[in-house]
Amino acid sequence: MRNKYILSAVLLLTLFICNCDEQKQQLNVFTWAGYVSDDIRAGFEKEYGVTVLVDTYASNEDLLAKLLAGATGYDIIMPSDYMVSILIKQNLLAELNRDNIPNFQNISPLFLGKYFDIDNQYSIPYTFGTAGIAYDSAVVTPDPDSWAVLWDPQYKNQFSMLDDQRETIGAALKLLGYSLNTTDPEEIKAAKEKLIDQKPLVKQYKSEAEELLIAGDVVMAHCWSGDAFRATETRPTIRYVIPKEGSSQFIDAVCIPKSAPHKELAEQFINYLLRPEVNAKITAFTKYGTCVPTAKEYLPEHLRMHKFIYPPKEVLDSLEWLKDPGDFTRHYNRAWEEIKAK
Ligand code: SPD
């Protein structure tokens, strides 16, 4: 009889626990690889009694394609600057309720009011960085200073390019002396041909370039600054250069899709990310810049002003923002399809 009581009590407890789990809200985050660390996720889960699921994409165009195809489960997405403009235009973003994001005041004005969302009605800056070349200085000598090194046959099969149409077409455009945002079909054609010529040399198109660098699969990679920085932790001989012809700079933003199932929870998550101590964890993990100045108080000295994050003025002057080319996007899409199909 006593055993029967114990069994019923255990059963009730199990049912109670299962029920609690069922009631837990789930926040679905769709972002770049290496952007949301386990401790940031776990900290929010613990404080809010929810589950956070993280899924990743390799390019802004992949994110757009997923949303246009009708993906509806995502609560948080992290598009870059020009893609924020495109998503706003496509009516795919929810307006943010600032009452739920009081930590908005922690953001530096330097990162607000940008061309892609002038009143920050739809986006909050998450991190900033650049694109360039990461290389193993023990192997690649002399230190490269031009995009041309990615066309040097001596590195055949030893380097990767970003699997990202605007960035990779952009690298070729810059090498040719053109703007990242050209709307001249002849310039796009020239960049396309340059990348088709390069293709037999490329080991892989991959946006998570740090994985290849860390594994030693490549000695050089077209890479974003934070990912190059992360690779140096395992391979200290890795260096990062922004080629003399110029490159892209970006702000990756946090947005809520119009179709988000848990909008208020998503706003609470954004507010959590903007706490200085949490925001410092973002930079400590991703190695991209923080948009919350007070977060620097929680960062180790070497991350506060590191040259991978804060290039010198003459380099900054050579950078361009990627912009929405409007209808001309089809030229970029077609060129990329042709490059990948070769
Ligand atoms: N691993 C994080 C990569 C972040 C990349 N930001 C993309 C910028 C595209 N212009």
pLDDT in tens, 154-206: 999 999 999 999 999 999 999 999 999 999 999 999 999 999 999 999 999 99
Please check the confidence at residue 14 and state whether its pLDDT lies above 70: no
- For a substitution probing ligand 1, which of 31, 32, 181 has the most ligand atoms within 8 Å of its CB? 32
- Cβ(125) – ligand 1 distance below 6 Å: no
* Same domain flag for 316 and 191: yes
pTM score: 0.92
* Same domain flag for 116 and 265: yes
For residue 25, the 8-state DSSP code is -
Contact 142, 135 (CB under 8 A): no
* Same domain flag for 6 and 145: no
- For a substitution probing ligand 1, which of 62, 128, 224 has the most ligand atoms within 8 Å of its CB? 224
* Same domain flag for 190 and 316: yes
Contact 96, 122 (CB under 8 A): yes
* Same domain flag for 199 and 275: no
- Cβ(33) – ligand 1 distance below 6 Å: yes
What does the DSSP assignment read for 68-132? HTT----SEE--BHHHHHHHHHTT-BPPP-GGG-GGGGGS-GGGSS-TTSTT-SS-EEEEEEEEE
Q: What is the mean pLDDT of residues 107-123?
A: 98
* Same domain flag for 314 and 228: yes
Q: Long-range CB contacts (< 8 A, 24+ apart) of 40-46?
A: 40/273, 40/278, 40/281, 40/282, 40/285, 43/272, 43/278, 44/269, 44/272
The pLDDT value recorded for residue 8 is 45
Residues 340 and 327: their CA atoms lie apart, in Å, by 21
* Same domain flag for 327 and 213: yes
- Cβ(210) – ligand 1 distance below 6 Å: no
How far, in Å, from the CA of 9 to the mean position of ligand 1? 51
**Domain of 225: which CATH number?**
3.40.190.10
Token pair for residue 249? 């700079």
Please check the confidence at residue 263 and state whether its pLDDT lies above 50: yes
Domain count, the chain: 2
Residues 177 and 315: their CA atoms lie apart, in Å, by 16
User: Which are the contacts of 308, defined by CB distance < 8 A and separation ≥ 6?
Assistant: 225, 226, 228, 229, 240, 287
Q: What is the mean pLDDT of residues 133-160?
A: 98
Helices 38-48 and 263-273 meet at what angle, rounded to 10? 120
Residues 163 and 156: their CA atoms lie apart, in Å, by 18
Q: For residue 183, which of 339, 41, 341, 325 has the smallest C-alpha distance?
A: 325
- Cβ(34) – ligand 1 distance below 6 Å: yes
- 3 state SS of 171: helix
Residue 91 domain boundaries: 2-127+250-304
- Cβ(243) – ligand 1 distance below 6 Å: no
- Cβ(167) – ligand 1 distance below 6 Å: yes
Please check the confidence at residue 66 and state whether its pLDDT lies above 70: yes
* Same domain flag for 296 and 313: no
* Same domain flag for 97 and 171: no
* Same domain flag for 155 and 49: no
The pLDDT value recorded for residue 190 is 98
Residue nearest to atom 2 of ligand 1 (CA): 32
Calculate Rg over the CA atoms of the chain: 22
At which residue do the structure tokens 């077409």 appear?
Answer: 169
* Same domain flag for 189 and 200: yes
For residue 280, the 8-state DSSP code is H
* Same domain flag for 114 and 134: no
